[in-house]
């Protein structure tokens, strides 16, 4: 592609000169007296303008792609490929701007530190990648968002969800999915998840407030024995837990 661009640039630079030489040759009787020789210089200038316009358009498109890629890198967690906090914030605020109700879940992994301590950081990374994949497998192709916002803290956003029970059903599925053994280079790892849920717009309109409510609910899950989920927000006087396993 770079060779083509160089050729286009050279052609653009020499087009007016070539046109001028043809015009001179016509005046000296060397070139035939024809319409194309009469307007050779104008044609060369027109070609120059066209080629430079094409080069400018290509440059603008390249800059746009580079900006888009830089923004994508800035909003992406490098380990899991999920959105990071910045990418998540931007998309949740977009849901708010479009007045789309949604549920926001903070998912904090239980028993993750022993995986790092006993099996090593490579195993820990494998667990985080597996968690990301399992979370993505539970969401819909459009309207839902999965992000990693901390070491072992993830967020799941369900677009269009208005009922706490719908969010709770997904939380239960997610809890079950994450409880299954995860293969790592150092052996199988088993973790759990403490989950807190906030609903927009009932629990708040802005990302920071929703995240705070869901985070508080997640800590209640931790305090109540881990591996469960709670609702957050003032609308729910009592946390709701999933039914006991088995």
Provide the annotated active-site residues: 152
What distance in Å separates the CA atoms of residue 244 and residue 238, rounded to the nearest whole number?
Answer: 17
Number of alpha carbons in the 13 Å side-chain half-sphere of residue 169: 8
Name 157's Cβ contacts closer than 8 Å, sequence gap at least 6. Answer: 88, 91, 92, 95, 102, 103, 104, 105, 144, 145, 146, 147
From residue 29, give the alpha-carbon distance in Å to each of 16, 23, 37, 65, 145.
20, 10, 11, 51, 73
What distance in Å separates the CA atoms of residue 216 and residue 234, rounded to the nearest whole number?
Answer: 11
Find out whether 124 and 115 touch, Cβ atoms under 8 Å. yes
Which helix or strand (DSSP H or E) is residue 189 part of? Answer: strand 187-189
Q: Is 233 helix (H, G, I), strand (E, B) or coil?
A: coil
Q: Identify the CA nearest to 230 among candidates 148, 149, 146, 164.
A: 164
């Amino acid at each position: 592609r770079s060779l083509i661009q160089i050729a286009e640039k050279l052609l653009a630079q020499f087009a007016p000169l070539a046109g001028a030489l043809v015009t001179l040759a016509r005046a000296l009787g060397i070139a035939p007296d024809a319409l194309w020789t009469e307007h050779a210089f104008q044609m060369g200038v027109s070609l120059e303008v066209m080629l430079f316009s094409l080069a400018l358009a290509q440059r603008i498109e390249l800059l746009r792609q580079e900006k888009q890629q830089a923004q994508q890198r800035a909003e992406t967690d490098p380990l899991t490929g999920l959105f990071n906090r910045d990418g998540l914030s931007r998309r949740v605020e977009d849901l708010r701007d479009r007045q789309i109700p949604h549920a926001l879940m903070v998912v904090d992994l239980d028993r993750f530190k022993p995986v790092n301590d006993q099996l090593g950081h490579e195993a820990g990374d494998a667990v985080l990648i597996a968690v990301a994949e399992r979370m993505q497998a539970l969401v819909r192709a459009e309207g839902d968002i999965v992000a990693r916002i901390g070491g072992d803290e993830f967020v799941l956003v369900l677009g269009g969800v208005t009922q706490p029970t719908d969010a709770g059903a997904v939380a239960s599925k997610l809890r079950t999915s994450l409880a299954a053994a995860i293969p790592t280079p150092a052996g199988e790892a088993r973790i759990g998840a403490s989950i807190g849920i906030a609903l927009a717009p009932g629990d708040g309109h802005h990302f920071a407030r929703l995240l705070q409510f869901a985070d508080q609910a997640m800590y209640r899950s931790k305090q109540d024995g881990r591996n469960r989920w709670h609702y957050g927000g003032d609308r729910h006087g009592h946390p709701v837990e999933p039914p006991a396993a088995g």
